[in-house]
Amino acid sequence: MTSITNSATAFKAHDQRFSEIVGTSPTIELLAESKLYPFAHEAGVFFPDSNDLFITSNRCIAPDGQQKVHIVRVDLNKTPPRCDEIGTDIPMGNGGINDGKHHVIFCAQGSMTEPSGLYRMSTTAPYKSEILKADFHGRPFNSVNDVVTHSDGSIWFTDPIYGFEQGYRPLPSLPNQVYRWCPDSGSIRAIADGFGRPNGICFSPDEQVVYITDTDRVHGDGTIDGQRVASIYAFDICKIHGEPFLTNRRLFAMADNGIPDGIKCDLKGNVYSGCGDGINVWSPGGELLGRILIRGGVANFCFGRNGEVFALNEYRLWRIQLGEDVKGALLGV
């Protein structure tokens, strides 16, 4: 992997409010590149205290047909950043989230012999991991894809059937839907359904809205159909009889290029999603504000400090600098 600087990208505005996000001199820097495999695909979990970034690769298929996902730790204190593969027991890792200073919660898509579910991994060597949740009342998850935590301690995650379609998971026993799990009580609920392929998930800064991407346009068998959904849905989070429910399901936005995969909010409520042309940004009201154009698109990304965004572009990892007052809602830095 190498590190070079490259500012040859476009910040395309669709609304004058985009200038408040990108600031006066937005830049993009190519931090690392691999010609061997698509090491920068999903997760994007940043730890500000140590200045480390954890990412997962796209599927890698060996000559014998075995499929694997690599987890990579990016040490951003080095120049160029140091990228080290981590050996873990997490089968086919995908999305992830910061779980305090010393752990990552990863989505494991699973295999034919290993369960899909939520795993917790230490951020320091030897990177020990443990499975947290692998089933819905005894029925195994399909291929858990992305995850977000709520301030009440609950963990919300999406579970599409991509693993079965891509040949490394058995026949699904659950619908394509979204779950809410409470580690303290053990409660597990299907919180939202009606998706083709639920994928990315995030909360608004005040946690009153949850955004969920549906990437049904692209199936795991490689078929693409422009009549299938490639959209972001918004739901209001309310309480009925003291328990959380999602109401007022609405179409928030449709990606016109590719699919909206990973999704995040900044502290002002703007919604960012990795799409086929880079990262698209919408206002809290669903108006497309602008795009950060990166050739080949972005599957996932995460915020760093003071307007930093780390974009996962398959064979390349980019650092984007927006306005310094832009802060991701997850970490608030």
Q: Nearest CA to 98 among 40, 44, 146? A: 44
Residue 48 and residue 303 in contact, taking contact as beta carbons nearer than 8 Å: no
pLDDT value of position 100: 84
pLDDT value of position 2: 39
pTM for the full predicted model = 0.96
Q: Name the CATH superfamily housing domain 36-260.
A: TolB, C-terminal domain (2.120.10.30)
Residue 169 and residue 111 in contact, taking contact as beta carbons nearer than 8 Å: yes
- The per-residue pLDDT string of the chain (333 residues; one tens digit each, 9 = 90 and over) reads 433 334 445 899 999 999 999 999 999 999 999 999 999 999 999 999 999 999 999 999 999 989 999 999 999 999 999 999 998 899 999 999 999 889 999 999 999 999 999 999 999 999 999 999 999 999 999 999 999 999 999 999 999 999 999 999 999 999 999 999 999 999 999 999 999 999 999 999 999 999 999 999 999 999 999 999 999 999 999 999 999 999 999 999 999 999 999 999 999 999 999 999 999 999 999 999 999 999 999 999 999 999 999 999 999 999 999 999 999 999 999
Q: Nearest CA to 268 among 99, 93, 25, 20? A: 20
pLDDT value of position 9: 55
pLDDT value of position 101: 80
Round to whole Å and give the CA distance between 207 and 226. 32
Structure token digits, residue 139: 């029925």
Residue indicated by tokens 């999704």 = 263
Per the rule left: phi > 0, alpha: psi between -120 and 50, beta: everything else, 242 is: left
Residue 300 and residue 39 in contact, taking contact as beta carbons nearer than 8 Å: no
pLDDT value of position 131: 97
* Count of C-beta atoms within a 10 Å radius of residue 313: 22
Please state the domain extents for the chain.
36-260
